[in-house]
Structure 1
Amino acid sequence: MDAATGAPVGPLTIRLHADDDVVIARQQLLTGTLLPEEGVRVAGLVPPGHKLAVRDIAAGEPVRRYGQIIGFASQAIRCGAHVHVHNLAMGSFDRDAAGVAGIDARPTQAVAEPATFMGIVRADGRVATRNYIGVLTSVNCSATAARAIADHFRRDIRPEALADFPNVDGVVALTHGAGCAIDSEGEGLRVLRRTLAGYARHANFAAVLVIGLGCETNQISSWIAHENLVAGPTLQTFNIQDSGGTALAVQRGVEAVRALLPEANRVERVPVPASHLVVGLQCGGSDSYSGMTANPALGAAMDRLVRHGGTAILSETPEIYGAEHLLTRRAQSREVADKLLDRIRWWEAYCERMGADMNNNPSAGNKAGGLTTILEKSLGAVAKGGSSNLVDVVEYAQPVRSHGLVFMDTPGYDPVSATGQVAGGANLICFTTGRGSAYGCAPAPSIKLATNNALWQRQRADMDINCGPIADGDLSVDAMGEEIFQAILRIASGERTQSELHGYGQNEFVPWQLGAIT
């Protein structure tokens, strides 16, 4: 980076693989610009982060980035021309995800001395990275009451409410828009109940209140029985209708939280192995740099975490579509590979049933940032998972019990996906972004990783780590992976993230809504 102008120095483009048909512009390129490293002259305007062809490509020919097919030329593309949505399209081809299952799986080389962080050990042995009291709802109808209870303890509004409880990170209301007018035996209610149960059990909650209306389909008593929960001092429940209405329910909830605070405050952080870390991996507001900088660097950090005995949860099934063969190659068994492919087939059938297209995933922002097809986006997104073996595949919000790299089936929509990961046990989220996503999580802290220097400079107050130096050649992917891993240990030990400082987390609880609403 030039100190005076802030412009990149060195090569004007980035080549990711020797077999690629495209390179990535590191700055805006104009017609006639010579790319000495490629022996190519630019033919037309190419924005930063976008692709240009390094050879003539005939209509219908495959186009490669990362050494993998990202689409097919929808028209002839001349050498040096901008390659984007106007001349690159999806196409079907054989990725043989089943036939290559497990061929790249290798034994994990565990470290001799695992890293530690300062965690909170619960009475039952679970380890927390934060210490909240949660207010959950069985149904949308009790959301207002739940928020009123949590708002009573907001430090930014009533700092005196938690002044005597410095070890309590806060009281958060996690509300949703479902819970009634849904099949009582259907998949939609099962997923909601599983999600709520995952939060009720989450180690980052010292205690949880669950508030219902009283007449909803998602009856609290049925939920407790269905999910094998046990109501008691740290899992308390009540209904608005049984409490005499909204005002009295809020008063009841405030009094319940007050009674819980002294015990919740009696915690201390102690050194615990990094094997207790379960990290959910997210990317949102992605750009062309995501697959070159932040995602592979996060993958390097996750390889470290796995070697230290921890767990990484890769998700967003529509955003690994087209790259699933890279995961099945690393599956530790054929059974694990088949579980992933079953979820891919479910999504294909789901999209067909809904009249949708798997390639509609790249958003307007993704495309403005240089991404063209879901194949290209997926190849970059899967890099977050590093190179460790895929040890298990679980459905949305199911408990993650394996150590290592696990895949959880979720939509690509970040709040929905991360909600499932936290329900599955993630006690920390790592979130990469190239366009500048506004996201935070509760009760699990969310680390934001910028993919490029421009975003870091523009939205510094929202970002925790800048991975832009990788694109400039100032830092290697592996070195950045080590920096991310060390940041994870510090934040798991209590250091605040930018999203926590901004108060993100309550509105980002979004369970996946499946099934018919009647």
Structure 2
Amino acid sequence: MLITLHDTPAIQLHPADDVAIALTPLGSKRQIAIAGRSVQLRSDIGAGHKVALRPIEPGQPVRRYGQVIGFATQPIAAGEHVHTQNMAVGDMQLDYQIGVDVRPVTLVPPEERRTFLGYRRPDGRVGTRNTLVIITTVNCSAHVVRQIGARARAELLPKFPNVTDIVAIAHKSGCASRSSGYEIEMLRRTLAGFARSPNVADYLFVGLGCETNQFEDLFLSQRARLGDVQLPPYIGIQDTGGVAATIDEGLREIAARLPRANECRREEVPLSELNLALQCGGSDSFSGVTANPALGYAVDLLVAQGGTAVLSETPEIYGAEHMLTRRAASRAVGEKLLERVHWWEEYTAREGFEIDNNPSHGNKAGGLTTIYEKSLGAVAKGGSTPLQAVYEYAEPVTERGLVFMDTPGYDPVSATGQVAGGCNLIAFTTGRGSCFGFKPVPSIKIATNSVTYERMRGDMDINAGTILTGAGVESVGREIFEKLIAVASGEASLSEAQGIGEEEFNPWMIGATM
């Protein structure tokens, strides 16, 4: 897709679309030519917002991307602004065909495979960073792990140049819940996933001692993931003698682990070892036109190299899941995706929510009206290759290629699950300007429009807004692909360079708090 502002002030993305997208703010009564027809605007139209190309009657579907994004709630005239005042979600019946659009992946020949400089772990996994993490079993030890981390970074880290960082992983859970069952097991596999992240050289757990999430239970339930450790790396505050004593003991434990972690060096590894988490936050109407399709193109390049990309945020594929089932590599994969979507329908209904509550104030200000519209743009991050697997939250990702993980749409919670599943790099698209970082995994920010990119130059790594002025999706996709390799090899992303990412750890807690 090649778009230039001097060609047209608005674009129709598909011949079947009922709306066009304004590329710049357009004034009322302006006459514009779009896709061979002339339309006079009946009101001001903001950049990224929709203008009707033809009359639409109440109850009729409204299409963008050639897909239904909602239904007219009142008569809409040609040239009228289409948004929350005259369009909403409705009862839409999707065609859940499975596997009909599977296109076999042509892998790059071995002699043409790309590499990056990563950290090879003893079990064969590869990290993009070489970090030590200190993890709480419960919120009661959050202050302690943060103090251990802060002092270790200041007092110890400068002596070990091959260690990337020392990160405190704290959360607000671990007690006031059942001692067994789905909810706490999900927390335990999330914590174990961070301890055994490919970006982590070593780890230390710190608890209070009387919490529901007892470390012994965590260790036993996650032993296959944590490994056959003779002496579990754990400190209990009540056993050690209080806060100050535990901080001192924690420093000694970290000091003992640093020399071994410092022995690890970057080495050339195949790009197939890259596990990329796909995220979008602060989306706008351009997300599905620029950054997400460009990231999808980069994902296709990565998958052709044998790498892995993890799409997630189940509430943000809602209304577009049929696009993914068509690419499911097997019936089991397609049916598991639909099972997770139906779980969300039941979950939100039980909690008195609607999934269409998802578009935020910023999303709507950026031109997105319904969750269907947002989702159709969001799935573009996944490129065009087959969907190989569907995982529950924080499960270890073992399949290569494009896979899906069931997570909420809230970025910190979603990324926490992806990283716990083994992702060693994050690509994050944003239209409004999210300042997201996520230790111990670097996050690359991709702006959907040039206004956001210029306004937040210190935070945006890639400007996909150049697609609107002629750069093309393929060109920006290759730029993203090269940035993935550079950051995986040690180049700091802009959020990483600013130290952002220690507060974003946020495990998904779906059970009752007692």
Q: Look up the match of 1:3.
A: none
Unaligned runs of 5+ in 2: none
Q: Secondary structure at the match of 2:339?
A: helix
**Matches of residues 295-306 of structure 1 in structure 2 within 5 Å?**
295-306=292-303
Alpha-carbon separation, structure 2, partners of 1:42 and 1:145: 60
1:102 to 92, 95, 99: 99
For 1:507, the equivalent position in structure 2 comes to 503
Question: Is residue 467 of structure 1 aligned with residue 469 of structure 2?
Answer: no
Displacement after TM superposition at 1:224 (Å): 0.5
What percent identity do the matched residue pairs reach? 54
1:442 to 439, 446, 454: 439
2:364 corresponds to 1:382? no
Contact 1:153 1:170 in 2 (8 A): no
Letter in 2 for 1:496: A
* Corresponding letter in the other structure for 1:76: P
Q: 2:256 maps to which residue?
A: 259
What is the aligned residue count? Answer: 505
Tell me which residue corresponds to 1:496.
492
Provide the residue aligned with 1:417 in structure 2: 414
Query: 1:127-142 alignment to 2 at 5 Å?
Result: 127-142=126-141
- Letter of the 1:135 counterpart: I
Are 1:426 and 2:426 counterparts? no
CA distance in 1, matches of 2:158, 2:141: 28
The answer as to whether partners of 1:274 and 1:308 remain within 8 angstroms in 2 is yes
Inter-partner Cα distance in structure 2 for 1:427 and 1:476: 28
Q: CA deviation at 1:152?
A: 0.6
For 2:185, the equivalent position in structure 1 comes to: 190
Shift of 1:115: 1.0
Of 205, 213, 230 in structure 1, the residue corresponding to residue 208 of structure 2 is 213
Contact 1:167-1:266 at 8 Å conserved across structures: yes
**Mapped pair 1:180 → 2:179:** no
| 1:79 aligned residue | 78
CA RMSD across the alignment = 1.3
Normalised to the residue count of structure 1, the TM-score between the two structures is 0.96
Cα shift at 1:232: 4.3
Q: Is the 8 A contact 1:130 1:205 kept in 2?
A: yes
Question: Matched residue of 1:306: which SS?
Answer: helix
> 1-side partners of 2:172 and 2:159: how far apart?
34
Contact 1:231/1:237 (8 A) holds in 2: no
Contact 2:45 2:51 in 1 (8 A): yes
**Contact kept in structure 2, 1:282 and 1:315, CA below 8 Å:** yes
TM superposition shift of 1:161:
3.4
**Aligned equivalent of 2:244:** 247
Query: In structure 2, how many angstroms separate the alpha carbons of the residues matched to 1:17 and 1:243?
Result: 65
Matched, 1:453 2:450: yes
Q: Aligned AA for 1:10?
A: D
How far the C-alpha of 1:234 sits from its partner, in A, is 9.8
> Deviations for 1:251-275, whole angstroms, at most 9, x for unmatched residues?
0001111121111111211111111
Provide the C-alpha distance between the structure 1 equivalents of 2:125 and 2:77, rounded to a whole number of angstroms: 58
Match of 2:197 in 1: 202
1:312-342 superposed Cα distances (whole Å, 9 cap, x missing partner): 0000000000000000000011110000000
The answer as to 2:321 corresponding to 1:324 is: yes
Decide which moves more: 46-55 or 180-189.
Answer: 180-189
- Would you say the 8 A contact 1:149–1:253 is kept in 2? yes
1:291 aligned onto 2:288: yes
Task: Give the SS at the match of 2:259.
Answer: helix
- 2: CA distance, partners of 1:348 / 1:442: 32
- Which digits, 9 at most, give the CA deviation of each residue in 1:187-214, with x for residues without a partner? 2101100100111111111100100100
- Specify the alignment match of 1:479 in structure 2: 475
Q: Which amino acid aligns with 1:377?
A: K
Q: Using structure 2 for the length normalisation, give the TM-score.
A: 0.97
CA distance in 2, matches of 1:9, 1:416: 41
1:150-203: CA deviation from partner (whole Å, max 9, x where unpaired): 01133xxx3x63222111111100100000110112221011001001111111
Distance 1:234 1:468 in 2: 52
Tell me the distance in 1 between the aligned counterparts of 2:14 and 2:313. 25
Deviation of 1:77 after TM superposition, in Å, equals 0.6
Shift, 1:8, TM fit? 4.5
**Contact 2:157/2:166, CA 8 A, preserved across alignment:** no
Letter in 2 for 1:285: G
